[in-house]
Amino acid sequence: MALIRLNNQSISSVTALPSGVATGKIGQIQYGQTSTNVAINSTGATSAFTDTGITANITPSATSSKIYIFVTIMGVQTGNGISARVDFRLMRDSSELINYQANQWNQTSNVVLRTGGFGINHQDSPNSTSAITYKVQFRMVDGDGNVQRDSNSGTSSITLMEVLA
């Protein structure tokens, strides 16, 4: 097996990263989870965004900190006989960080459609040392029926990781 060499040194001799490579330390990790069912009902129009129950709070220790957000959404389901799309958005307090429009599915058949999961990964620079709430909301677009974050399919979660500058 060949020996990998960096700058003519064997791996066992490397004691530091090359200059210019930025490193960060984890300041804290916060976690939230839910398995509660949340449903949206709509008739022929786009519904308002509704909280999914996926939420967590963090208080950054420095204004230069970055917050990495990892979300797993389990068990999104649409009802019988509807043609609908589900949009998700990630919120910092009352501000939208990102809207995943049309990122789920269009259903046009007469069956219940259930998806196993959907993930969100995002980096935020809140420039704050105040308490922050991150949460996920969803809505049904152009649908007639209901869509839900279904409790029978598992637990949804959010992990917040503060990376110190």
- Average pLDDT of the chain is 79
Which one-letter DSSP state was computed for residue 13?
G
* Chain position carrying tokens 């204004």: 63
**Confidence (pLDDT) at 87:** 82
Q: At 10, which helix (H) or strand (E)?
A: strand 9-10
- Please state the domain extents for the chain: 23-50+59-164
Question: What is the DSSP secondary-structure string of 55-115?
Answer: EEEE--SSTT-EEEEEEEEEEEEE-TT---EEEEEEEETTEEEEEETT-S----SSS-EEE
What number is the average pLDDT over the span 146-151?
Answer: 67
Confidence at 56, pLDDT banded by 50, 70, 90: very high
Single-letter amino acid code for the residue at 79 = G
Range of weakest confidence among 28-37, 92-101, 125-134, 136-145: 136-145
Residue 124 CA to residue 127 CA, distance in Å, equals 9
By the 10 Å C-beta count (0-12 exposed, 13-18 middle, 19+ buried), 130 is classed as exposed
Confidence at 9, pLDDT banded by 50, 70, 90: low
Q: At 11, which helix (H) or strand (E)?
A: none
Question: What is the DSSP secondary-structure string of 143-157?
Answer: EEEEEEE-GGG--EE
Beta carbons of 84 and 141 less than 8 angstroms apart: yes
* Chain position carrying tokens 């700058």: 7
Residue 101 CA to residue 111 CA, distance in Å, equals 23
Which CATH architecture is the domain 23-50+59-164 placed in? Sandwich (2.60)
**Confidence (pLDDT) at 29:** 96
What's the whole-model pTM score?
A: 0.77
* Chain position carrying tokens 């999104």: 76
What number is the average pLDDT over the span 139-159?
Answer: 75
pLDDT at 138 over 70: yes
More confident residue, 6 or 48: 48
